[in-house]
Structure 1
Amino acid sequence: MKKKVLIVCTTASMVGNFNIPNIRLLKRMGYDVEVACNFKDVSSWSLNDSNKLKKLLEALNVKCFQIDFVRSPFKILSNCKAYKELNKIIMQRDYNFIHCHTPIAGALTRLSAKRNGVKVIYTAHGFHFFKGGPLKNWIIYYPIEKWLSSYTDILITINNEDYLLAKDKMNSNQVFKINGAGVDINRFRKKMNYRKGIREKLNISDNQIVLLSVGELNRNKNHKTIIEALGSINNLKLESMKTD
């Protein structure tokens, strides 16, 4: 019988943005790959984006399952419904292992995998609890992740802080770090003609400083901080002009 693996994410965007290389790799290794996520979630992707992903997965001969995951851990009824949907699939499909991502999908998958005796890998794309983070995140998310780590055969982290915490505090059989955050600045070089053209198009003079903040438009990305920082910079400039 051919080897079979399931990739589980809360949203389609997590599949499309992060897991296509994983899927291609697993296919090359001889696995049948299946995907379970909420293709209807439009918090960061449109339905058109999700449909494009489905077509790509179909071209890769990947079977897709719609699971009505929600992002909030407080929507108990919705999460119970999603768990039942997912558990039914895992019970019937005889997977060699499951690779799950994102807090909600990761939690429900590990509960079902434990129940059905399936090996599971969990990639934590940045724990919600971190040094200097909100106390409520430590109170809510840390105990859950610590508990579920006992049901995790391999825990993959993407930054050093999470890796050290997982090695010290979590109970996974194995913990790894794969650098997943940041930008290799050596890949980028200033293209002066392009820079000049963009500045002229946006009516920005050559001596003005431009700051760019990139991230999904939700509370978790904390755009509030960069907006407040920009305000502080402007205020500092005004104060400097007054003293001069």
Structure 2
Amino acid sequence: MSLNCWRLSGVLSVNLLVTSREVVGVTVICVCPVIKLQEVPILSRADPTIQLLLCRTIADKVAAAGYYVVVPDFFFGDPYNEEKSLSPWFELHKPDKGFEDAKQVAAALKDKGISAIGAAGFCWGAKVVIDLAKSDDIQAAVLLHPSLVKVDDFKEVKPPVAILAAEIDHFCPPERIKQYEEILLSKPEVDKFVKIYPSVKHGWTVRYNVEDKKAVQRAEEAHRDMLDWLTKHVKYSEKGSGFSSVRGPRSSM
């Protein structure tokens, strides 16, 4: 399965990572940091490019189920790292800007004939996705170890929402996840799924040692749950026919 750098003409002056086995009228936008878009070798487990390759692995898994997967670089080549001061960096990369960019991506995909869109947001990206979920831009949302998300955000959600959270997370502790769940439970019209994974830390789905069997298993459990949710709710439909389907297995990880 090939990975290509792709640009939405006239929409964003930012590269998009696209992985696809077969375009079937549905797409998934993965909102997570992209450090570089060219192929890069892994120099060591400490090399930050390993996070990009893990992100590509997740995108490939979703694409293998028949989805067209888009991973926009919302940081425009400027991801956060420990060498940077967080506050100045965050002023340049607030989620509300990411939300506006994501809306443009969704609109451009629909202009190209995409009939249904799901969005998965990791950490910072979860705020982008929950804001998308307040509109009709997407048909399903997945938040993985979210940060910056407010309890009141869930009062306005429209599509089905899944929250995949870590037991050990100072950005979004289990107590806050329970508050999110309470709001969702008050909205019977919205399908929801909330899961707190035991003994894992914030970022476990995209930042893990590929040589640690237990860490891989824990990450892949969340990947399966994410894909199951998308498969359940993001479906291709032919106008006027009533036909609705997703090509590919329910979970192929």
With the length of structure 2 as denominator, give the TM-score of the two structures. 0.43
In our comparison, the structure showing a higher alpha carbon Rg is 1
- In proportion to residue count, which structure has more strand? 2
TM-score w.r.t. structure 1 length?
A: 0.44
Higher helix share: 1
Greater length-normalized contact order (CA 8 Å, ≥ 6 residues apart): 2
